[in-house]
Amino acid sequence: MTDAPGPLEPLGPTGRPILDRPAFERLTATHRRELKLHCYRMMGSLHEADDLVQETFLKAWRGRAQFDGRGSPRGWLYTIATNACLNAIKARATAHRILEMPARPPSEGRAAAGPAAELAWLEPYPDAELPDIADGEPGPDARYETNEAVRLAFVAAIQLLPPRQRAALLLCDVLGWSALETAQLLGGSTASVNSALQRARATLGERYPGGRPLQRSQPNAQESQLLERYIRAWQAANLDGFIALLREDATYHMPPWRDWYQGRQAIHGFFRTVWANFAGYRAVATRANGQPAVAIYARRHQELEWRAQSLHVIEPADGGIASLTIYVAPLGPGLFAAFGLPPMMQESWSEPEA
């Protein structure tokens, strides 16, 4: 915290003891990760989520005397964080971030549309930053399972919602708050919250049958084998081996480029145009949004360094890859630091053991 507290009165205006610094730091440490994930879902940005969690704790510290203790400290922090997100969305140029260009048909062959750096792109979320399941367990009224509600496809889908609908859906359907509790946080009536929820669910229903992305299983041996084969294909520069891991109906998105591809044949046609741009690839396994992910380092011809090149988020299904999102330059390399990865590796770097 940046504001050092001065001498405190033992009781606040509500007659409750004021949180001292050690108690406040314990409180914020307990809820930091789940609040950061909530802000990420609201904003679609890991970097904005970091800033908003800091803002939440600063506002909570300054206003701690007003916390009367009748509600839960967790609910109090979520109230501050949600309102901070809503205000931040109002202040920025766009209300949501995108994972794909709206209404743009799939491309074929070489990418021609180019990067759209001026657009706000949905960022991936490192699994290392996810809260423990026990700490982030949703309430009994939640409609989404914990692992389902972090998927990249889910976060992309809820970005389509207006900010207030997005907040209502996250609070009720993801966290399991009641409509009454949500109305008290957002302001307005229970009926208005239920109406916002109904509209939000209808919007998701247009994108996904049943109003939700397909549920995926927990990580298993089959998924681990798929990831190992993916890494081997890239490090061996085996284009056909990489393409063979895709389902026939797979989709491929490449933020911040506008182009996207549908189907194994079309994806192969694109990669055939760019695969030889580098002298080789090195791959590091990681995880993002509860999904397997790979960080790719590439070495250009006549160079020794392996430089951060792209971050791959994989959506497995039925033993293959149903969806592949590869964050490429200029966006992709800038994401490596958030995953604890260096911007480059030397020639002497050795592959991690499988």
Domains for the chain: give ranges and CATH numbers: 21-110+149-211 (1.20.140.160), 221-345 (3.10.450.50)
**Residue 105 neighbours by CB distance under 10 Å:** 8
Distance CA 49, CA 46 (A): 5
pTM: 0.89
Distance CA 244, CA 354 (A): 20
The pLDDT of residue 8: 40
The pLDDT of residue 133: 54
The pLDDT of residue 159: 94
The pLDDT of residue 17: 60
Alpha helices by DSSP H, listed for the chain, are 21-43, 46-62, 73-91, 152-158, 163-169, 179-186, 190-207, 221-235, 239-244, 264-274
Which positions of the chain have pLDDT values less than 50? 1-11, 134, 351-354
The pLDDT of residue 220: 77
Pair 239, 270: CB distance under 8 Å:
no
Pair 319, 222: CB distance under 8 Å:
yes
Task: Indicate the length of the chain as a whole number.
Answer: 354
Pair 292, 285: CB distance under 8 Å:
yes
